[in-house]
Structure 1
Amino acid sequence: MTNALETKALGTDVSAAFEEFSRAFEAFKETNDQRLEALEARRPVDILVEEKLARIDAALDETKSRLDRMALDLRRPPLGGPVAPAVDEHKSAFHTYVRTGEASGLKALEEKALSAGSGPDGGYLVPADVEGEVLRRLAAISPIRSLATVRLISGGTYKRAVATAGPATGWVGEQEPRPQTNGPTLAEQTFPAMELYAMPAATQTLLDDAVVDIDAWLAEEVETAFAEQEGVAFVNGNGVNKPKGFLAYERVANANWSWGKIGTISTGAAGAFADEAPADVLLDLVHALKAGYRQNASFIFNRKTQSVIRKMKDEEGRYLWQPPAGPGQHASLLSFPVVEAEDMPDIAADAPAVAFGDFRRGYLVVDRAGVRVLRDPYSAKPYVLFYTTKRVGGGVQDFDAIKLLTFSE
């Protein structure tokens, strides 16, 4: 009953936060209209208007972040519930290990099934439902993971063959000879899974408290640490002991695009949008992507870039950026979803500050099955540390599915 009441209260809070966000956006539009009227009339913009606009802009971002967190909490399933006897045995042994350090139960399971034992780097696998919850939370709060294709693998590396050019084809008459066609051009892509770790700490008092849900505590402690590190790597990672981010690949002007590179569109001004018709380049970016990819495409940029784009209008005076239609949904730009990724660069000379593409086809995340925990009660007394590791990799799998907007001439 308590959970039902808490869920109902949280749903009420989400609705209230969404109404607050909608009111803030209306105030934003009204204030920005005053700024634009002054600019069109070639009058100096009142400093009070600029300050008010900045405050509302910051409030919009803060309210949207709070709304996303509450919507995420509302969607989270409980970790408890009936489980199979073998799973329950593993879970019980794992709880004993986390609370007391007694590992005999997990060692016995290791003898029966290697999948429940320790890895070469030490530690023990967490129960399957805890691992699933960690991955669900990462999918919800890690921007690129939420868009990308995710593959679960059992080995250390995922390999796939991809056709960089299809076989030659053509039309012929009924009686004409059929010329021999060339075969497809294939390339092998390799995505190694690298080790990512977090080290939450707990007091022994917390671990001794039978009321504390150890599964939920562990998932909550590692989700933010994992999501932050993944966010950096999936965008900017160099591929050395970490995933390779989509901004780490070679970039070329879209007119000169070839497989293995990311095509770019330039704004025409160094470190800024063009003075005349600044929004036109966003349309150019959209249409640089082939029609087959646009259907599921999204914009990705950080909060500072969003603050600039949020003020833009089309030729008919309509705002290009639109607020989400409901709690837990994305804002939109030119009718495409907007995903905030704080690891995207700020607007600066030559910076690829805006990405647009079908990231489900364009970017691949590989998760090696198994999240491991090693209990350490000695290194930070009186706290108990939990060295928690997972293996993850990533990289671009379709170079035609992602385009970048660079702020250059």
Structure 2
Amino acid sequence: MTRQMTTVAPEVKAVPETMTAAFEDFMQAFEAFKDANDQRLGEIEHKLVADVVTRDKVERINKAVDEQSRLLDQLALKKLRPALGRSGQATVDDTERKAAFEAYIRRGDEAGLRELEAKALQSGVAGDGGYLVPEETDSEIGRRLSVVSPIRALATVRQVSGAVLKKPFAPAGMASGWVAETAARPQTGTPELAELSFPTMELYAMPAATQGLLDDAAVDIEAWISSEVDIAFAEQEGAAFVAGDGINKPKGFLAYDTVADGAWEWGKIGYKPTGTAGGFAASGPSDILIDTVYALKAGHRQNAHFVMNRKTQGAIRKFKDADGNYLWQPPGGVGQPASLIGFPVTEAEDMPDVAANALAIAFGDFRAGYLVVDRTGVRVLRDPYSAKPYVLFYTTKRVGGGVQNFEAIKLVKFAAG
């Protein structure tokens, strides 16, 4: 007999004041979703079709769960943004440089920065102009990017001082063997090395301010620049790390050649097909997730994450195992990720939606599989002329990225084969 429902679809509330309150709202929404979806599955079992009202209710609550999850993410982002400046007492040089940089930003006064560069016998001016921001601002932008850009948070990040990072890699591994303690050591075969190249590309943002804002001594200029730039940078790099074509931007892991996992070879990323174009298989729809997990080697599986967008996660949230347990589970606590068959789920809105031949789900050890390259230094060029009466701040950062281990990432392709 179908269980009668008394649960009302949760209303998406305003942003709660605390992470704990947001997490409680999220869990309440998920419990309502499970009740409604259980009713839908019960109707299908007894009537072979779900009532239209029930289906609409499930979708409505599923969207509410997504909204509550989004609110939780916003609060987590806000909480993880530290105040500018380093702990402890600033040195005289730090204080002097910060004051000189602020004078340049507010009034265009370059004298202080030029004097500091003369003392240090080095130049902070790039070929296209501009000054290096103080260390506090530079590291602040980097921290915020790691929170907002999901792939950056999963990947290995390397700092370089040049334009390109070149990394040797042995696709077949190093040759080795067993030998007795006093026996001669035969020479091993020469390993085949591949050189992976990761050039850094220029990422820019151009926030604008009125002179009145800059003249207001109560405004924290460094905090303002960071808040204006970090979201813009994160959105651009987040998209590039997923699907960037490598032309004047990093190369995303979806931009590499893909091949059915049974025919995988170095330089390509293997995928598992769902068996149905544009959707999951009608029978055993969650089997493809299990197949993808075990397509990855055990060493990479230990650190693996699922990566998908919110819409795909909403579809998977309805799946159950043979014992009636939901495969998707909510976070175990505040600040923790949701999980899918025991593995963390990372939401990346730049992942494609489920569609015919779409690579909508990725699973892998992104720490081993994807490399983000940051060139040290963020530069700011003050431009009071191009958009009068506004002052533009041309802010640049050089970033690169690409796959460094092609066997550490697997994809799910929504195709017949």
User: TM over 0.5, yes or no?
Assistant: yes
Q: CA deviation at 1:350?
A: 1.1
**Aligned AA (2:219):** V
CA distance in 2, matches of 1:192, 1:169: 33
Q: Please give the secondary structure, in 2, of the residue aligned with 1:305.
A: helix
TM-score using structure 2 length: 0.92
Q: CA deviation at 1:94?
A: 0.7
Q: CA deviation at 1:175?
A: 10
CA distance in 2, matches of 1:393, 1:115: 26
Alignment gaps of 5+ in structure 1: 1-9
More deviation, 19-28/197-206 = 197-206
Q: CA deviation at 1:148?
A: 0.3
Q: Which residue of 1 aligns with 2:378?
A: 371
CA RMSD of aligned residues (A): 1.9
More deviation, 266-275/174-183 = 174-183
Q: Aligned in 2, Cα 1:354/1:115: closer, same or farther, shift over 3 Å?
A: farther
More deviation, 380-389/347-356 = 380-389
CA distance in 1, matches of 2:357, 2:16: 43
Please list, as runs of the form range in 1=range in 2, the aligned pairs for 1:306-321 lying within 5 A after superposition.
306-321=313-328
Q: Which residue of 1 aligns with 2:201?
A: 194
CA distance in 1, matches of 2:188, 2:156: 33
Task: Tell me if the contact between 2:385 and 2:391 (Cα under 8 Å) persists in the aligned partners.
Answer: yes
Please list, as runs of the form range in 1=range in 2, the aligned pairs for 1:212-251 lying within 5 A after superposition.
212-251=219-258
Match of 2:43 among 21, 38, 41: 38
Q: Deviations over 1:217-269 (max 9, x none)?
A: 11111111101100111011111111000011110111111111101111111
Match of 1:27 among 24, 32, 37: 32
Task: Tell me if the contact between 1:11 and 1:74 (Cα under 8 Å) persists in the aligned partners.
Answer: no
Q: Please give the secondary structure, in 2, of the residue aligned with 1:164.
A: coil
**Aligned AA (1:342):** E
CA distance in 1, matches of 2:392, 2:142: 21
Task: Tell me if the contact between 2:80 and 2:147 (Cα under 8 Å) persists in the aligned partners.
Answer: no
Q: Aligned in 2, Cα 1:152/1:173: closer, same or farther, shift over 3 Å?
A: closer
Q: CA deviation at 1:62?
A: 1.8
Match of 1:128 among 108, 115, 135: 135
Q: Which residue of 2 aligns with 1:150?
A: 157
TM-score using structure 1 length: 0.93
Please list, as runs of the form range in 1=range in 2, the aligned pairs for 1:156-171 lying within 5 A after superposition.
156-170=163-177
CA distance in 1, matches of 2:83, 2:255: 38
Q: Which residue of 2 aligns with 1:58?
A: 63
**Aligned AA (1:142):** S
CA distance in 1, matches of 2:123, 2:42: 66
Q: CA deviation at 1:44?
A: 3.2
Q: CA deviation at 1:39?
A: 2.2
Q: Which residue of 2 aligns with 1:98?
A: 105
Q: Which residue of 1 aligns with 2:365?
A: 358
CA distance in 1, matches of 2:281, 2:294: 18
Q: CA deviation at 1:15?
A: 0.9
Q: Aligned in 2, Cα 1:64/1:11: closer, same or farther, shift over 3 Å?
A: closer
Q: Deviations over 1:57-96 (max 9, x none)?
A: 2222222122122122223322146311112111111111
Q: Aligned in 2, Cα 1:322/1:114: closer, same or farther, shift over 3 Å?
A: farther
Q: CA deviation at 1:105?
A: 1.2
Paired residues, what number? 400
Q: Please give the secondary structure, in 2, of the residue aligned with 1:240.
A: coil
Task: Tell me if the contact between 2:328 and 2:341 (Cα under 8 Å) persists in the aligned partners.
Answer: yes
Task: Tell me if the contact between 1:110 and 1:118 (Cα under 8 Å) persists in the aligned partners.
Answer: no
CA distance in 1, matches of 2:220, 2:385: 23
CA distance in 2, matches of 1:178, 1:117: 53
Please state if 1:287 is matched with 2:294. yes
More deviation, 208-217/139-148 = 208-217
Q: Deviations over 1:81-128 (max 9, x none)?
A: 631111211111111111111112112223233666210011111111
Q: CA deviation at 1:47?
A: 2.3
CA distance in 2, matches of 1:339, 1:400: 20
Percent identity between the two aligned chains: 61
Task: Tell me if the contact between 1:194 and 1:243 (Cα under 8 Å) persists in the aligned partners.
Answer: yes
Please state if 1:83 is matched with 2:90. yes
**Aligned AA (2:77):** L
Q: Aligned in 2, Cα 1:64/1:105: closer, same or farther, shift over 3 Å?
A: same
